[in-house]
A and B are shown apart, each in its own frame.
Chain A
Amino acid sequence: MAVQTVTVMLAGVGGQGTILAADVLAKTAVAAGLDVKLSEVHGMAQRGGSVDTVVRFGQSVASPITDHGCADHLVAFEMIEAARQLPYVKPGGRLLVNSRTIDPLPVLIGDLASPAGVEEALVAEGAIFIDAEELACEAGSPKSANIVLLGALSTGLEFSLDLWTEVIGGRVPPATVEFNLRAFELGRRACGEGGACLL
C-alpha cells in the first residue's frame, strides 16, 4: 500500500456531487487502513460557485490542504474548473476531466466571453477526457456522473474493486446503489485497460 502520501483534488461547481465523491474516496482510503485528511469548503460555494475538495491519504497525513504543484490527481467535473485548478497538479500528475462546460454567471449574462482555448490547454497538459454524464445516463441516472469520475480515478489508485464496491454501497442512498455501481464500473472501464480515454 502507498507509503507516500497521495493527494487528490476534486474540482467542480456547486451541485455536481464533488463532496460526495470526495467522501467516498476518503472512506475507501480509511477502509484500506490509511490515515486520511479531507478538506472542503461549504457556504457560499454551495450557491453555484467553484467547489474544490482535497483528499490526502498515506501512512500519516498532516495537512488537509495542498499547494500548487503538489496534487497527484486532479479530477475535474467541468472544464473551466479543470483549467482553474491546473496549477495544483504535479508535473507527471494525472488530470481527469469531465468533457463538459458550465458557464459561470458573468458568461451567461454576456458580461464576459466564454474562455477560448480551455480544451486545447487541457489537451496540451495531457488531460484524459471522459463524458461522465453520458456514461452516467448509460448506467441509469445522470446524477451518478460523480461516481463515473470516481471509477475513472480508481484506475490510478491502489484500492481493490471490492473495497470501492463496499464503500459506495454503504455511502449512496440504497435505491441508487445499483446504478451507482454500474456508473463506477463504466468510469473504471473507460479509463482502464483498453479504455477509450487511454490514448
Chain B
Amino acid sequence: MSSTLLSGNEAVARGAWEAGASVGVGYPGTPSTQALEVFARMEGVYAEWAPNEKVALEVAAGASMGGARALVTMKHVGMNVAADPLFTLAYTGVGAGLVIFVADDPGMHSSQNEQDSRNWGPFARVPVLEPADSSEALEFTRAAFEISERFDIPVIVRSTTRLSHSKGVVDLTRDRISTEPREYLKDIGKWVMMPAMARARREALDERVRQMSEFAEDSQLNRIEMRDPTLGIVASGVCYQYVREALPDASVFKLGISFPVPEKALAAFAAQVDRLVVVEEADAYLASKLRSLGLDPEPVGLPAAGELSPGIIASALGAEAPATRNSVSGLPPRPPLMCPGCPHRGAYNALRKVKAIVTGDIGCYTLGALAPLASMDSCVCMGASIGMAHGMRLAGQGSDRPVAAVIGDSTFAHSGITGLIDLAYNGSDALVCILDNRITAMTGHQQNPVSGMTLQGRPTTEIDLEALCRSVGVRRVRTVDPHDLAAAEQAVREEVAADELSVIIFRAPCALLIKDKEQPFAVDEESCTACGLCIRLGCPAISKEQDGKARIDTTICVGCGDCVQVCRFSAIELTGPACDIGGV
C-alpha cells in the first residue's frame, strides 16, 4: 500500500484507469483539464482531446456501445454543449460503462458563469455522484463504472474547483481490473432512438431510475454520521468537508449520490435531528429536493452565489468570527494579464486603431477586455463572438465603428466554425479575427486540431484554417503576423472597409511556446518623451516611472519587439543579456 498525494482530478483519472476504462475523451476546461491529461499518460489507454464536449461524449458513447469502458471529461459549461447526446444516451443506456466527469466552478475562478451540474441528474435522469475528497474521487469514479453497467445508464461524477484542484492523501491499493471489451450485439430497440423505440426506452428509463432510487437507499456512497442530534446537516461534495471543519459535533447526512437521492433515508435522518440544515454551493438543489419531500430544512442564510468556506458556514450557524490581523486598505488589484511577447497584443493594437466594436470569446485573449488594451466588448460562451458580430450588424451597428469578432484557434474549432458558416451563408459583412497561437493556451497548453499534435503526442494532420474559411464561402481570407504591427493594422483597415465577410488569421505561436527568448529591449531615458504609447500595449515588462517615462524589466522582456514598433522616438533598443534579478 502506498500513500500518495493526488488532486481530485488525478484521482478521477486513477479511478477510471483502475476500473479498466480504455478510452478517455474530453475538451480542456478549468478546473477539469488535468483529469484527462493524467488519464492519457496511463498504461494501456487511448485518450484524445475532441474539438468540443458534444463530440467527446459521442466518441465515448460509441466506445461504450462497442464494448469499451469510457471516460468523458469537461467543465460545467461544456456539459451544456454535450447535453444533446446526454439526454438521449440516458434512453439508450450503455454498452460498457460510460462515466462523465464534470467539474463546476463556484466562485468563478476561471469561468464565465456558475452552474450546478447536479441539476443534470433529474433533468436527464442520470445518476450523479459527488466525491468529497481525492480518496473518494478515486473510489466513486471506480464505482461509477459499476453503476453505469448495472443500471445501463451513463453516470455523472460531479466535482468542483476545490475538489479538482485540492490534493489529499490517497492509498493506492488496487490494480487495474480486466479490460476485455464486451461483445457488441446489434439491438436497434436500444440504440436507434426513433419515436417508436424511444417511447419504449422512456418507460425503461423510468424503471431504471426507480431501481437506482432503491439502490441509493442502501448504497455505501451515502453515509449517516450521527453525533449531536440537535443539529443535522445534509451536505455533499467538498461542502461536507467544510461542515466537518466548522461544526465537528453536528450530525451529518453525507450524500455521495445526489441523484437519485435516498428519500427514505433522508426522511429518517430528518426525524432524528432537531434542526435540519442543508449546506450546499451554487444552487439550492438539495434544499429544494428536501422541501419537495416535505422535510422542510431550516434556511440559515448561506450565500447563494460564490463558494462557501468553513468560516461562512460557522457564522451562518451563529459562531463568532475569529479575530484577524489588521487589513491593509488601498491595495491595487492584481488581474491576470497577457504575458510579455503575447501575440494577441498585436491583434488588439490593430483593432483599437480602427475603434472596432469587438465581440469576444473564451481564451487568454479575453484579457484584451481589460485596460490598457480595453478592446473587447463582449464575452459570453465558446464560439459566441462570431454569431454576435453578425447580430450586432443586423442591429445596425458598424456604420461609424466597425464590428469585429475575435476568437482563438481552439475555440474556433470548438464552435466557431458553425458561426462562420452562418455568416457566410447569410451574407454578413462582419470581420472575423482568428487569433491562431497554435495551442489551447488558457487551460495550460493543450493540443488541438490546429496544433498538429494529439493529446498522447502523436503527430497528426492540422486544420488548414485558410482553406476551411474559403470552403464555407468566405472570399476574403488573409493571414498576418500579429508581431508585425503595421501589417496587422493595414490588414484590419482593409478588411473592415470591405463590404463583404472577411477573415483575418493572426498567426504567431503563444509566447510561452517559445523556449529560446530573443534578447530583451531597454528604454533609452534620453530619447524617451514619456508619450505613453508603449505603456498602452499593456505589456507587463513595461512600466511607467514617476516621470512618465517607460522602463523595461529586462528579466521578463522576451524581445518580441512590439514596443519598438509603436515608439515614435526610437527610444527602445536592444540591450545586453539580463543581469539583475528584477523587482523594485
* B-facing residues in A89-139 (Cβ within 8 Å): 89-91, 93, 100-118, 121, 124-125, 133, 137
Please name the 6 residue pairs, one residue from A and one from B, whose CB atoms are nearest each other, closest first. Answer: A43-B110, A67-B311, A69-B322, A47-B336, A64-B166, A49-B336
| B543 proximity list for chain A (CB < 8 A) | 103, 107-109
Residues of A within 8 A of B (CB): 13-14, 23, 26-27, 30, 35-50, 62-70, 80-81, 83-84, 86-91, 93, 100-118, 121, 124-125, 133, 137, 142
CB-CB < 8 A to A102: which residues of B?
583
Main secondary structure of the interface of B (DSSP, over half): loop
Which residues on the A side are within 8 Å of B332 (C-beta)? Answer: 80, 103-104, 106-107, 112-115
| Residue contact A70 to B162, C-beta cutoff 8 Å | no
Query: What is the count of residue pairs linking A and B with beta-carbon distances less than 8 angstroms?
Result: 204
- In contact, B323 and A47 (Cβ under 8 angstroms): no
The stretch of B66-74, B91-99, B241-249, B563-571 that contacts the partner chain: B241-249
Interface centre among B335, B442, B532, B538 (most CB of A within 10 A): B335
Chain B interface residue count, CB cutoff 8 Å, equals 64
Considering only residues 346-389 of chain B, those with a C-beta below 8 Å from chain A are 364, 367, 370-372
A103 to chain B: which residues have CB within 8 Å? 332, 543, 584
Question: A37 to B544, Cβ gap below 8 A?
Answer: no
Identify the closest chain A residue to B312 (Cβ): A67
Distance between A166 CB and nearest chain B CB, rounded to angstroms: 15
Residues of B within 8 A of A83 (CB): 328, 331
* Structural contact, B325 and A89, CB atoms closer than 8 A: yes
Separation of A84 and B329 alpha carbons in the complex (Å): 9
Q: Could you say which residues of chain B place their CB within 8 Å of the CB of A90?
A: 322-323
Measured between alpha carbons, how far is A62 from B254 in the docked complex, in Å? 13
Q: Which of A45, A66, A105, A133 meets B581, CB within 8 Å? A: A133
Question: Which B residues are CB-close (under 8 A) to A113?
Answer: 332
Q: A42-B31, A48-B337, A90-B322 are in contact. Are A68 and B5 (CB under 8 A)?
A: no
**Residue of B whose beta carbon sits closest to that of A27:** B5
Contacts of B335 in A (CB 8 A): 49, 104-106
Contact of B326 among A81, A109, A121 (CB under 8 A): A121
Q: Tell me the complex Cα distance, A113–B444, Å.
A: 32
| B282 in contact (CB, < 8 A) | no
10 contacts between A and B (CB under 8 A): A30-B169, A41-B161, A47-B339, A49-B335, A62-B241, A62-B242, A64-B168, A67-B309, A67-B322, A105-B371
How far, in whole Å, are A115 and B162 apart by their CA atoms in the complex?
Answer: 31
- Name the residue on B nearest A68 (C-beta): B324
B60 at the interface (CB under 8 A from A): no
Chain B proximity of A106: nearest CB distance (Å): 5
Indicate if B310 sits at the interface (CB-CB under 8 A). Answer: yes
